[in-house]
Amino acid sequence: MPNFQTHTLKPLTYPCAYGDTYFECEAISAKNNKLVVASTKGERYLLRVSHKEGNRLLVKGDKVTRPSQVSILQKVLMDFRDVSEAIEICSNIEPKRALHVTRSPYLKTIDFFASSFEVTREIWVEVGFGSGRHLLHQAKKHPHIQFIGIEIHKPSIEQVLKQCELQNIENILVLDYDARLFMEFLPSNCVGKIFVHFPVPWDKKPHRRVMSQSFIDEAMRVLNQSGQLELRTDSPRYFEFSFGEMMKLSKVNVHVKKNEALEITSKYEDRWLRMEKDIYDVTLINETLSPLIPRVETLQFSKEIDFPKFCSLFREETVRGDGFFVHFEELYLIDISNGLIRISFGANERNEKCYLWVKEGHVSYFPNTVLATQSNIQADKLIKEWIDGLCN
Ligand SMILES: C[S@@+](CC[C@H](N)C(=O)[O-])C[C@H]1O[C@@H](n2cnc3c(N)ncnc32)[C@H](O)[C@@H]1O
pLDDT, one tens digit per residue, over 313-333 is 999 999 988 878 899 999 999
Answer yes or no: is pLDDT of 131 > 70.
yes
pLDDT mean over 282-304: 89
pLDDT mean over 387-392: 86
Q: How close is the Cα of 235 to the center of ligand 1, in Å?
A: 14
349 band by pLDDT with thresholds 50, 70 and 90: low
For ligand 1, atom 19, the nearest C-alpha belongs to: 178
Residues whose CB is less than 8 angstroms from the CB of residue 267 and which lie 6 or more positions away in sequence, other chains included: 130, 131, 133
- Pocket of ligand 1, beta carbon within 6 A: 127-131, 150-153, 156, 178-180, 197-200, 210, 266-269
* Continuous H helices in the chain: 70-83, 110-115, 133-141, 154-166, 179-182, 213-222, 236-247, 267-274, 307-313, 374-391
Indicate whether 8 belongs to any domain.
yes
Indicate whether 99 belongs to any domain.
no
* Residues found in the chain: 392
> Do 224 and 248 share a domain, yes or no?
yes
User: What percent of the chain clears pLDDT 90, i.e. is strictly above it?
Assistant: 70
Q: What was the pLDDT predicted at 206?
A: 86
Q: What was the pLDDT predicted at 324?
A: 82
Using the atom order of ligand 1, give the atom closest to the CA of residue 153. 25
353 band by pLDDT with thresholds 50, 70 and 90: confident
> Do 60 and 128 share a domain, yes or no?
no
Q: What was the pLDDT predicted at 267?
A: 85
> Do 222 and 355 share a domain, yes or no?
no
> Do 266 and 351 share a domain, yes or no?
no
Number of folded domains that form the chain: 3
pLDDT mean over 340-348: 85
Assign residue 185 the CATH number of its domain. Answer: 3.40.50.150
Burial 81-115 (b: 16+ CB within 10 A, else e): bebbebeeeebebeeeeeeebeebebbbebeebbe
Residues whose CB is less than 8 angstroms from the CB of residue 220 and which lie 6 or more positions away in sequence, other chains included: 229, 249, 284, 286, 288, 290
Indicate whether 290 belongs to any domain.
no
Indicate whether 98 belongs to any domain.
no
> Do 52 and 170 share a domain, yes or no?
no
Answer yes or no: is pLDDT of 96 > 80.
no
Q: How close is the Cα of 294 to the center of ligand 1, in Å?
A: 29
Are 160 and 149 within 8 A, CB to CB? Answer: yes
Q: What was the pLDDT predicted at 52?
A: 93
Indicate whether 267 belongs to any domain.
yes
> Do 262 and 357 share a domain, yes or no?
no
Q: How close is the Cα of 128 to the center of ligand 1, in Å?
A: 3
Q: Would you call the peptide bond into 187 cis, given omega within 30 degrees of 0 as the criterion?
A: no
Q: Would you call the peptide bond into 367 cis, given omega within 30 degrees of 0 as the criterion?
A: yes
Domain boundary among 91, 120, 143: 91
> Do 343 and 366 share a domain, yes or no?
yes
> Do 212 and 277 share a domain, yes or no?
yes
First to last CA, the chain: 41
> Do 166 and 87 share a domain, yes or no?
no
For ligand 1, atom 13, the nearest C-alpha belongs to: 128
Q: What was the pLDDT predicted at 106?
A: 93
Mean pLDDT rounded to a whole number for the chain: 91
The three-point CA angle 321-392-360 to 5° equals 100
98 band by pLDDT with thresholds 50, 70 and 90: very low
> Do 224 and 350 share a domain, yes or no?
no
Smallest CA-to-CA distance from 333 within 1, 26, 86 is with: 26
Answer yes or no: is pLDDT of 99 > 60.
no
Domain range enclosing 363 = 298-391
Q: Is the pTM of this model over 0.85?
A: no
Q: What was the pLDDT predicted at 348?
A: 58
> Do 114 and 146 share a domain, yes or no?
yes
Answer yes or no: is pLDDT of 392 > 80.
no
Domain boundary among 27, 56, 91: 91
Can you tell me the distance from the alpha carbon of 310 to that of 304, in angstroms, rounded to the nearest whole number?
11
pLDDT tens track for 38-89: 999 888 899 999 999 999 999 999 988 877 677 888 999 999 999 999 999 9
Indicate whether 292 belongs to any domain.
no
Are 174 and 152 within 8 A, CB to CB? Answer: no
Q: How close is the Cα of 386 to the center of ligand 1, in Å?
A: 36
Using the atom order of ligand 1, give the atom closest to the CA of residue 232. 8
Can you tell me the distance from the alpha carbon of 134 to that of 222, in angstroms, rounded to the nearest whole number?
21
Smallest CA-to-CA distance from 363 within 389, 333, 332, 387 is with: 387
Q: How close is the Cα of 199 to the center of ligand 1, in Å?
A: 5
Domain boundary among 237, 253, 285: 285
How far is C-alpha 14 from the geometric centre of its chain's CA atoms? 30
pLDDT mean over 168-192: 94
Return the DSSP state at 186: S
Residues whose CB is less than 8 angstroms from the CB of residue 171 and which lie 6 or more positions away in sequence, other chains included: 139, 142, 143, 144, 145, 146, 147
> Do 137 and 235 share a domain, yes or no?
yes
Indicate whether 100 belongs to any domain.
no
Indicate whether 238 belongs to any domain.
yes
Q: What was the pLDDT predicted at 97?
A: 52
Are 222 and 183 within 8 A, CB to CB? Answer: yes
* DSSP string over 310-348: HHHH---EEEEETTEEEEEEEEEEEETTEEEEEEEEEET
Q: How close is the Cα of 150 to the center of ligand 1, in Å?
A: 8
